[in-house]
């Protein structure tokens, strides 16, 4: 979300450095592997005074785990400080909405600059409710005191249910005559907001990201690759991904090169082609150049008055409104990576795509001239990257199915220079130090993060640099991560942390409207690059320019439900999640009014009415054009994306009443868990049978909410 900053008018970090469990010199981490033998190898790191303990890794429990039984888990503890320490290692069982439960404990003593294998016997209590539980092992940094240093076992415990299964490499052949190319777009005919993104013919299931990143040069090094596990929805002769290797922004854009592509372990051929406007009756390889032109609107227009819909949104190098149509009618770049496997892939078959690539990471210039993507940090004693990528710039640092409706789960294995920190979505699984190799002559650290929930393409987070990282476990069973660039001045770091520490209270407040929090973790990353916006990166909200503000944190955290859990099916529906996140700001303003009035509920309601009246009486531009029909230039700058739907939800809340409105929100959250909503969403599809008058009222509220979108935001 590119926060509409004008809404504001309505209203000590711990360094986590490398760990010391080295791999073989030529090893690279894999999704499932055995830990290498422990070693006394120490990488050259900033000197840490005093003890500094933290968990490096924790094995997953056996898949056959059952409640009421005990199991021995193994992990690694590291002390990279200058003093010996002794303290407990505690294994917690976490489930969102349930207090943390300590199920295993042991005590370790560790000399300075040392690591040790540790065994902890856990006992699972009888009578555990059905569901998914995280196993989290923690030590205190100074032994018996200080911040926590935790890791989460990669595989959750599944009590009374089966865990999701990743795609396997299936290579069943199919008759070529029955097969065809996958679609090069997921947008409908006539779409004019980033219609070039997304790819059809398969469903994205899981992605493993292996970055070998040199922070000083901002380069991805050899052995960098992604493995995308997908399932074919048709018989495929070929399929596509989105990958912007280079861009018109020669200074800050990417410069990436593909080395090889494998499908199910076999070499595949690949090429890059231009996108074609969705629904072209002449097909994706239409020879007419007009079928591959950029534009802000449908039709393209431009110098030659092109009557066709745009195939892509323009990449503007200026935010000047007088130049927004300058690239209309220009040719779209060839950013569609078309892959042809050695033989067709049968419909229903799961398959794995491995793309190896190297080069410079960079940003994408959007249809409004702003930039998003991988922002380089290049300051004295501070180098790395800061990632914030709405709406499409994940493809500027990795190949993927770049569309909000594609929501695979993720594992990240970031190998970086010693002393650098990698921060990605979800749970921190491990930090492992590696022996020197050709990429990193001074050694390296591999950070493994795991997201058990699917992530929309523009919400994939992976910032790497000199970040201070801390974490805590809340009484609700949610893990909170906080990260700030160490270049931020200490007084500002302290002020930022005071606001970051409010995230748990914000989440609890918003749970009253939205229902149960849909993820296992939450957190904030504050970087120093001068990005023009904040973003609701899933479980790791990003703030740029070295600062954070409380009202925007309310907005972005509301997005964890709206945009992250329940995602929009296409870019023209951005108003859906931005309006609800704006409502989150309005709730924050109302809560302040309530507190000022001594806790009066009437003051809360009156504040919402006042907000509605203030916005409603504003500019007539609020009512010109439909929120569901933006153009790229206005997608994140127009009040129709934020204020109009925001006050629309206030009006609907007044019509339904607060209880029914909240019930409708919560019903959508539960019914569309980790999926997407679009124009075709209907109350009948998601509603539960009405058992009493309250259930009927909730169903009516849900139906009205959907009808409200159709009548008030589509025209």
Render pLDDT for 244-267 as a digit per residue (tens, 0 to 9): 999 999 999 999 999 999 999 999
Residues 109-122: what's their mean pLDDT?
A: 94
pLDDT of residue 6: 39
76-90, 163-177, 545-559: segment of lowest average pLDDT: 163-177
Closest CA to 56 of 75, 42, 41: 75
pLDDT of residue 3: 58
Asked if residue 387 has pLDDT above 90, the reply is yes
Rounded distance, CA 282 to CA 276, Å? 10
Residue 568 class from Cβ within 10 Å (0-12 exposed, 13-18 middle, 19+ buried)? buried
Residues 531-543: what's their mean pLDDT?
A: 96
pLDDT of residue 637: 85
Phi and psi torsions of 690, nearest 5°: -80, 120
CATH topology of domain 566-712: Neutral Protease; domain 2 (1.10.390)
Structure tokens at 147: 């911040």
Residues 412-438: what's their mean pLDDT?
A: 98
Contact 19, 78 (CB under 8 A): yes
% of the chain residues with pLDDT over 70: 86
Q: Give the Å distances, CA to CA, from 306 to 324, 407, 602.
A: 17, 34, 56
Asked if residue 12 has pLDDT above 70, the reply is no
Structure tokens at 51: 């003890």
Asked if residue 78 has pLDDT above 80, the reply is yes
Asked if residue 700 has pLDDT above 70, the reply is no
Q: Give the Å distances, CA to CA, from 188 to 192, 335, 687.
A: 9, 19, 27
Asked if residue 178 has pLDDT above 50, the reply is yes
Contact 90, 140 (CB under 8 A): no
Phi and psi torsions of 7, nearest 5°: -65, -25
| Sequence spans of domains, the chain | 566-712
Residues 371-378: what's their mean pLDDT?
A: 96
Closest CA to 206 of 373, 453, 394, 34: 453
CA 529 to mean position of chain CA atoms: 19
What are the pLDDT digits (tens) for 565-603? Answer: 999 999 999 999 999 999 999 999 999 999 999 999 999
Contact 672, 566 (CB under 8 A): yes
SS3 459: helix
Contact 463, 471 (CB under 8 A): no
pLDDT of residue 17: 31
Rounded distance, CA 154 to CA 40, Å? 25
Average pLDDT, the chain: 88
pLDDT of residue 679: 53
Contact 686, 672 (CB under 8 A): yes
User: Would you mind telling me the total number of residues written for the chain in this entry?
Assistant: 715
Residues 672-684: what's their mean pLDDT?
A: 67
What are the pLDDT digits (tens) for 469-499? Answer: 999 999 999 999 999 999 999 999 999 999 9
Beta bridge partners of 465: 421
Q: What is the dihedral of CA 67, 69, 72, 77, to 10 degrees?
A: 40
Asked if residue 239 has pLDDT above 50, the reply is yes
Asked if residue 707 has pLDDT above 60, the reply is no
pLDDT of residue 125: 92
Contact 379, 528 (CB under 8 A): yes
User: Please, which pLDDT band fits residue 636 given cuts at 50, 70 and 90?
Assistant: very high
Residues 31-38: what's their mean pLDDT?
A: 33
The residues, ordered by sequence, that sit 6+ positions from 656 with a Cβ below 8 Å of its Cβ are 664, 700, 701, 704
pLDDT of residue 713: 63
This prediction's pTM? 0.90
The residues, ordered by sequence, that sit 6+ positions from 591 with a Cβ below 8 Å of its Cβ are 509, 604
Asked if residue 546 has pLDDT above 60, the reply is yes
Report the largest interatomic distance among the alpha carbons of the chain, rounded to a whole angstrom: 75
pLDDT of residue 394: 99
Residues 299-308: what's their mean pLDDT?
A: 98
Asked if residue 693 has pLDDT above 50, the reply is no
Q: What is the SS3 assignment for 305-358?
A: CECCCCCECCCCCCCCHHHCCCCCCCECCCCEEEEECCCCECCCCEEEEEEEEE
Of the CA atoms within 13 Å of residue 46, those in its CB half-sphere come to 16
pLDDT of residue 161: 61
Rounded distance, CA 515 to CA 522, Å? 15
């Amino acid at each position: 979300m590119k926060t509409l900053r004008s809404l504001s008018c309505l209203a000590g970090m711990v360094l986590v450095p490398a760990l010391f469990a080295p791999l073989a010199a030529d090893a690279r981490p894999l999704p499932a592997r055995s830990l290498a033998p422990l070693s006394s190898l120490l990488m050259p790191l900033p000197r840490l005074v005093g003890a500094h303990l933290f968990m490096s890794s924790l094995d997953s429990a056996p898949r056959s785990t059952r409640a009421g039984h005990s199991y021995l888990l193994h992990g690694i503890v590291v002390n990279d400080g200058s003093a010996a320490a002794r303290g407990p290692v505690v294994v917690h069982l976490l489930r969102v909405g349930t207090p943390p439960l300590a199920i295993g404990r042991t005590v370790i003593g560790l000399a300075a600059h040392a690591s040790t294998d540790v065994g902890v016997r856990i006992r699972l209590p009888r009578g555990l409710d059905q569901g998914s539980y995280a196993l989290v092992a923690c030590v205190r940094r100074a032994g018996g005191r200080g911040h926590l240093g935790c890791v989460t076992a990669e595989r959750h415990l599944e009590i009374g249910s089966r865990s999701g299964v990743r795609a396997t490499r299936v290579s069943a052949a199919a008759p070529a005559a029955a097969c065809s190319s996958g679609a090069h777009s997921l947008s409908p005919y006539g779409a004019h907001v980033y219609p070039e993104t997304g790819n059809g013919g398969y469903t994205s299931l899981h992605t493993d990201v292996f970055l070998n990143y040199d922070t000083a040069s901002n380069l991805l090094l050899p052995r960098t690759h992604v493995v995308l596990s997908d399932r074919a929805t048709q018989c495929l002769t070929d399929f596509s991904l989105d990958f912007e290797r280079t861009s018109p922004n020669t200074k800050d854009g990417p410069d990436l090169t593909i080395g090889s592509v494998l499908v199910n372990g076999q070499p595949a051929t690949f090429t890059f082609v231009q996108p074609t406007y969705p629904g072209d009756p002449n097909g994706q390889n239409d020879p007419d150049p007009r079928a591959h032109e950029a534009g802000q609107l449908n039709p393209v227009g431009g110098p030659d008055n092109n009557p066709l819909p745009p195939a892509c949104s323009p990449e503007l190098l200026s935010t000047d409104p007088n130049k927004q149509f300058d690239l209309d009618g220009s040719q779209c770049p060839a950013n569609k990576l078309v892959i042809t496997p050695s033989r067709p892939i049968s419909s229903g078959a799961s398959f794995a795509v491995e793309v190896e690539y190297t080069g410079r990471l960079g940003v994408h210039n959007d249809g409004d001239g702003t930039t998003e993507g991988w922002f380089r940090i290049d300051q004295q004693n501070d180098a790395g990257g800061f990632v914030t990528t709405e709406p499409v710039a994940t493809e500027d640092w990795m190949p993927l199915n770049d569309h909000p409706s594609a929501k695979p789960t993720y594992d990240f294995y970031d190998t970086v220079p010693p002393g650098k920190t990698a921060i990605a979505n979800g749970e921190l699984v491990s930090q492992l130090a590696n022996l020197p190799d050709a990429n990193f002559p001074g050694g390296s650290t591999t950070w493994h993060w795991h997201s058990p929930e699917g992530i929309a393409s523009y919400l994939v987070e992976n910032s790497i640099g000199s970040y201070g990282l801390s974490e805590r476990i809340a009484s609700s069973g949610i893990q909170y991560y906080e990260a700030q660039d160490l270049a931020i001045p200490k007084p500002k770091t302290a002020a930022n942390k005071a606001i970051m520490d409010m995230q748990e209270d914000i989440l609890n407040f918003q749970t009253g409207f939205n229902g149960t929090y849909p993820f296992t973790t939450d957190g904030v990353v504050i970087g120093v690059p001068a990005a023009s916006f904040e973003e609701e990166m899933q479980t790791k909200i990003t703030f740029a320019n070295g600062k954070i503000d409380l009202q925007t944190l309310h907005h972005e955290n509301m997005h964890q439900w709206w945009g992250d859990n329940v995602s929009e099916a296409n870019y023209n529906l951005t108003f859906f999640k931005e309006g609800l996140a704006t409502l989150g700001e309005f709730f924050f303003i109302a809560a302040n009014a309530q507190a000022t009035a001594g806790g009066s509920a009437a003051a809360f309601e009156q504040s919402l009415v006042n907000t509605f009246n203030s916005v409603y009486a504003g500019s007539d531009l609020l009512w010109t054009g439909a929120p569901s029909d933006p153009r790229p230039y206005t997608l994140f700058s127009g009040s129709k994306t934020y204020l109009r739907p925001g006050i629309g939800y206030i009006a609907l809340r007044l019509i339904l009443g607060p209880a029914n409105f909240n019930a409708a929100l919560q019903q959508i959250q539960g019914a569309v868990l980790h999926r997407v909503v679009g124009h075709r969403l209907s109350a009948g599809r998601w509603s539960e049978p009405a058992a009493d008058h309250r259930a009927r009222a909730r169903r009516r509220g849900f139906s009205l909410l959907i009808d409200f979108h159709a009548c008030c935001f589509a025209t």
